Structures are given as C-alpha cells and as structure tokens.
Amino acid sequence: MQKIFITGAAGFIGSSLADRLLADGLSVVGWDNFSTGLRPFVADALKHPGYRLVEGDNLDLPALTAAMAGCDFVFHLAANADVRFGTDHPGKDLQQNTVATYHVLEAMRANGIKRLAFSSTGSVYGEAKVIPTPEDAPFPIQTSLYGASKVAGEGLIQAYCEGFGFEGYIFRFVSILGERYTHGHVFDFYQQLIAHPDHLRVLGDGSQRKSYLYIQDCLAAMLHATRLGLAAKAPHRVAVFNLGTAEYCQVKDSIGWICRALGVTPRLDFTGGNRGWIGDNPFIFLDTQRITASGWQPKLSIEQGIVRTLRWLEANRWVYTSRESAPPPPRA
C-alpha cells in the first residue's frame, strides 16, 4: 500500500486510520461529506504533507471516481451506522450503505484499483444461534436495516472480487470504542450523567450481552490482515474476519465501570425487555480465532476500552455541542 483512499475520513474510525497510516509514512486521500464526520478530527492530518482531504458524497459517482484517481488501496469506512433509528428512515441504509458501496466499487473499477477493505458489522449475523459466532455461521433472518444493508454490501464486494479480480477484506466489527468515539452507549450514558448524575435511563433491562473493541486494536487488526495480503490467498480473493475481543459483558457491567470511574451512584431506570430498540441484538459475541491465528491480538480488555473512552469524552466535552460551534479538541 502506498497511496490510500479512505471513505468516511472525518469519522471516528476513518480519521484514526488516516493518522495511523500517515505516521507509517503512507500517503492518504480522505473523502467525507461531513454529514457525521467532524473537522477537528482531521485537523492534524491536514498539516501533514502526505494528506489530501476531498469533500464529497459517495452517492456522487463522478466526483468519487475523480477523487480516487491515483490511489492503490481503498478503505471503505463511510456508512450510516444509526441502527436504533433505522426504521425511521429505511431508505438511508440502502442509499448510504448499499448504493454507496456499489459506487465505491465502480470508482475503483474505473481507476484500476483492485484492493479494498470494508467495515462490515457483527450485526450481519442477526440473532445468531452459534455463540461465539464464527465467520462461516449461517446468516439468520436480518433484524436491522443496517445489518441488511451491510450484508448487501458484502455481497457486492464478493461479486466484484469474483467478476473483476478485486481483492476484498471484509471486517465484521463488534462495537468500536476509544478516542474520537461519538456514537454509542458510553457516549449516551456520559451525556446523561453530565446532565443528571443522580439517575441514568437505560434502554432495555441491562441484561444485554455485548462485545466491544478498542479503536487502536481494530486498526491494528485491519492493517495486519491487509499487509499480509491474506485475501490474495483466500478462495475467490475474499477474506472475512470477525474483529473483537475474546470476551463480552452485560450492559449492567459497563454501567458499573462507567459509574465507578466517574464516582457516581445513579438510580438506574430500565425501560424493560432484553432489547433496547428494534434490531438490538441481545447477545453479540464473535469468534475471532481466524484473525488471532494470523498473529493479531487485542491489547485492551473491554473494561479498559470503556474507561479509556470515558476519559477521552471527559477531556473532549465539545463533541456534545453542535458541529458549527465545536472548537478543536485540546491536545493530549
């Protein structure tokens, strides 16, 4: 990899990846429409001579194709990740996840780029019958529009690998935590506790079992697999990897870690049921033996990742303000 194209480059994962690649001496073209990405996240990258930011939308195929020219490898990380409110706007997942992935593939084809890494999700397994869930587990009925749109994206990538000789890396993430995290339960819980440290509203009954992965461990896994060229050696030139830790926790566990770190003892108001919203999987635990067998291991536990995320949010409360008024984050 020499010149890397990143969709969603101003987002949590994309901006973190860009900084890591630049530190490794690679050139990066960042692509983002800033619908959810934040400009302070690309502030340091913009100072680097090897970085170029192009503002654009994945649904604009001509602009995407032009921006991608001259790149060697694509990390397609842009997506609508709003699982909870997916039924409020069902077309958004189709357009921003599935159609956008098709456009990325077509832009690659037009530019003669053959290698792609894709951020999929453990949600593609729906409510899995096999726990921990391996990559070759049968896909059950899809329970979220987000998961369904990612399954469709995976299928397109696999077909392009077969039909056009692409090399595809599909990474099925658990929830990712860490610096620049702006979406998920730690973000929501801390926001509530800032406003009222005496009580916390929890979607579901707190029994949901979830798995999480620290952002730098996630990036290390993706770079490890792509640099080894594992997809080139895989059947049909597609390598699928679950990314997570060899553990899970209950939502109640996470609440305990967060409250202990903040020194608060709020009253917990549970909304009931083992699902917080439509499409919420009550048990997510992925089998990660395939990626660990290749030599990668996560460095942080779930608890360590949650506490580190919380500390970053404490130091960067500007992420809770509007995008228009958000100042750049303080330097560590």
Packing angle between helix 61-68 and helix 100-111, nearest 10 degrees? 40
For residue 275, which of 158, 155, 144 has the smallest C-alpha distance? Answer: 144
The CATH code of the domain at 185-210+246-320 is: 3.90.25.10
pLDDT, residue 89, reads 77
The domain ranges of the chain are 3-177+212-243, 185-210+246-320
Residue count of the chain, please give it: 332
pLDDT, residue 83, reads 65
Packing angle between helix 302-315 and helix 251-262, nearest 10 degrees? 50
The CATH code of the domain at 3-177+212-243 is: 3.40.50.720
Contact at 8 Å (CB) between 10 and 81? Answer: no
Q: Is 214 a catalytic residue?
A: no
For residue 112, which of 230, 3, 240, 21 has the smallest C-alpha distance? Answer: 3
Query: What 3-state DSSP class applies to 238?
Result: strand
- Out of 146, 160, 181, 248, the active site residue is 146
Q: For residue 9, what are the CA distances in angstroms to 37, 78, 160, 247, 321?
A: 8, 8, 23, 29, 21
pLDDT, residue 84, reads 65
**What does each of the 332 residues of the chain score in pLDDT, given as a tens digit?**
589 999 999 999 999 999 999 999 999 999 999 999 999 999 999 999 999 999 999 999 999 999 999 999 999 999 987 766 667 778 888 899 999 999 999 999 999 999 999 999 999 998 999 999 999 998 888 888 998 999 999 999 999 999 999 999 999 999 999 999 998 999 999 999 999 999 999 999 999 999 999 999 999 999 999 999 999 999 999 999 999 999 999 999 999 999 999 999 999 999 988 888 777 788 999 999 999 999 999 999 999 999 999 999 999 999 998 544 444 433 32
pTM of the model: 0.93
pLDDT, residue 321, reads 87
